[in-house]
Structures are given as structure tokens and as C-alpha cells.
Chain A
Amino acid sequence: MVPLFYYIIVSTILFAIGVYGLVSKGNALRLLFAVEIVINAANLNLVAFTRYAMQTATGPSGQTFALFSIAIAAAEAAVGLAIIVVTFRLNKNVDVFKLRKLKN
């Protein structure tokens, strides 16, 4: 088996990729991709710590939390994509650097 540390490293790299996408990208769809990557990194940590935990008193709580997280990510993706579609309908693009209707 692989030590727990490797899973943490993979999860950290995924999280850093998501942070990079969130800071640098302008396309709203790419921002949504980055959010999904960050959520996946968190889920990977939850499941990994469930597998490597010593105490059994809490049961599979980590996996249950991962299930909740996946379901909430689905809800968030639905609403986010709907907002992107509405934004495209109103502004003809989804570049967040060009959305300045509320600025003045």
C-alpha cells in the first residue's frame, strides 16, 4: 500500500492547480472547472483519512462526508452553469474581466 503522505501530496497538487485556475483564468467556465478540481482535492483527502484512520468509533464518517460533498458539488454546478448561461444571454460573452455592469 501507499503511505498516506502520498495521497496528501496528490491532493495538495490538485488544490494548487485549482487555486491557480481560480486566480488566473477569465473564462467563467474555467473558473467552474477550477472549483470542481478544488472540491475533488478535498474529497480525496476525506476518503484517504478515513482509510488510514486508527480509531473506528466514528465509522465511515469521512466517506459519508465525501458523499455529501459530491452531492452539494452537483447542486453548485447546476446553479453555476445556469448563471453562466444567463450571463452569456445578457452579455454575449462569459469573460469575467469584461463583466462591468455593476461597476459604475
Chain B
Amino acid sequence: MIDEDTIAFVVLSVLTIGAALLSLETRQVVYGAIALAFSFLGIAGLFILLDATFVALFQIIVYVGAIAVLIIFTVMVVTKEVETEAKREPFKPLAIGIATIVALAVGIVASLSNLNSKYPVGPTYAAKDIGIQLTEVYYIPLIILGLILGASVVGALTLVRTDRN
């Protein structure tokens, strides 16, 4: 018995994981950046499946709209003309081993723990609930977050500044 939620979940999971792998393994970094954008889109789709529409919209606006574009611009600035990446990866077997061990450990722990709620039992939240919580409970972190964003933008601009005089 396969319903449409399961099909959507499988498709989005394959898209997300495949694009994430592709973003690390393509020969040119530009294609990797585009694959990373698709991975972000897949995550946003999973958020919609989890009834977190506002977070999904936020993810699309911030990740696909801002971060992916910023990364693509930086790749164009940084990469040389036809420079393919150096194929020297001395730690690749070690990296595969570590990643496998991490995945197996977390998977075994997750499968042994008895998750009480196999299926969603809680309510779904609208954007209004998140807004109320942001302004009534987490308002001090929100202010600090704004300061962090402003400071990071100023810091990034200061780092890449060139003196043209």
C-alpha cells in the first residue's frame, strides 16, 4: 500500500541525497554549486511534506535565493579558467570509512531506540504560531540574530574590500 506521501518522500529524498553527493563529486565546482541548490530545494520539499510550510519558504528564499547565488558568484570569481580540480585526495578512504561509521552508529542508535511516535500525532503549526513564538518567547534571540547578521555582512564587506586610490 503506497500512498502519495510515501512516493513524494522517496522522490525528494533521492533528489536531496543524490544532489548532495553530486555537489561534492562533480569535476567542476560550478556544477557542484548548482547541484547544491537542487539539494536545498529537495530539503524544502521535505519541509513541505512535514507541514512546515513557513520554514520551507524561508529555506527557499534564504538558501536557494541567497546562499546558492552567492556561492555561484564566488565560484565564478575564485575558479581559474579551465582549472579542473586537483585530483589529489589523500584522505578519501579514511573519509569514506569515517562517514560509514557515523552513518551506521546513528542508524543503529535510531533503530534501537523506541521512538514513541511513529506517525505524526502533534498539531500542525501555521506561520502565525511561529510569529507569536518569535515575538513573545524568543525575542531576545531574535534581536541577537539580527545583530549577528548585520555584523557578518559588515565583516564580509570589510574582508573583501579593496582600496582603489
Interface residues of A (CB under 8 A from B): 1-10, 12-27, 29-30, 32-34, 36-37, 40, 43-44, 47-48, 50-56, 59-61, 63-64, 66-68, 70-79, 81-86, 88, 94-95, 97
Chain B hits for A71, CB < 8 A: 62, 145, 149
Chain B residues near A10 (CB-CB < 8 A): 13, 16-17, 46
User: How many residue pairs between the two chains, A and B, have CB atoms under 8 Å in the bound complex?
Assistant: 239
Q: 7 closest A-B pairs (Cβ-Cβ)?
A: A24-B95, A23-B95, A75-B152, A20-B99, A82-B156, A16-B103, A60-B125
| Nearest chain B CB to A60 CB, angstrom units | 4
In the complex, the answer to whether A30 meets B17 with C-beta atoms within 8 Å is no
- The answer to whether B20 touches A14, judged by C-beta atoms less than 8 angstroms apart, is yes
Closest to B101 in A: A16
**Of the candidates B49, B85, B98, which one forms a contact with A27 in the assembled complex, judged by CB atoms under 8 Å apart?**
B85
Whether B138 and A64, one on each chain, are in contact in the complex, defined by CB atoms closer than 8 angstroms, is yes
Give A23 to B6 CA distance when docked, in angstroms: 33
Q: How many residues of chain B get a CB closer than 8 Å to chain A's CBs?
A: 84
Complex contacts, B125 vs chain A, CB 8 Å: 50, 59-60, 63
- A24 to B141: give the CA distance in the assembly, Å: 35
Q: How far is the CA of A59 from the CA of B130 in the complex (A)?
A: 8
CB pair B63 A94 closer than 8 Å: no
Please name 14 further chain A to chain B contacts, defined as beta carbons within 8 Å, in addition to the given A23-B91, A82-B159, sorted by A numbering: A12-B107, A14-B16, A15-B106, A23-B98, A27-B86, A36-B40, A37-B36, A50-B52, A52-B118, A54-B122, A63-B52, A70-B58, A73-B63, A77-B67
Look across to chain A and name the residue whose beta carbon is closest to the beta carbon of B100.
Answer: A16
Q: Can you name the residue of chain B whose Cβ is closest to the Cβ of A21?
A: B24
Known: A52-B117, A74-B67, A82-B155. A19 touches B130 (CB 8 A): no
B77 interface contact, C-beta 8 A: yes
Which of B's residues lie within 8 Å of A, judged by CB?
A: 5-6, 9, 13, 16-17, 20-21, 23-24, 29, 32-33, 36, 39-40, 43, 46-47, 49-52, 54-55, 58-59, 62-63, 66-67, 70-71, 74-75, 77-78, 85-86, 88-92, 94-96, 98-100, 102-103, 106-107, 110-111, 115-125, 129-130, 133-134, 137-138, 141, 145, 148-149, 152-153, 155-157, 159-160
**Residue of chain A at shortest CB distance from B158:** A82
- CB neighbours (8 Å) of A16 from chain B are 99-100, 102-103
Question: Which of B32, B78, B148 gathers the greatest number of chain A CB atoms within 10 Å?
Answer: B78
Q: A16-B102, A75-B149 are in contact. Are A88 and B78 (CB under 8 A)?
A: yes
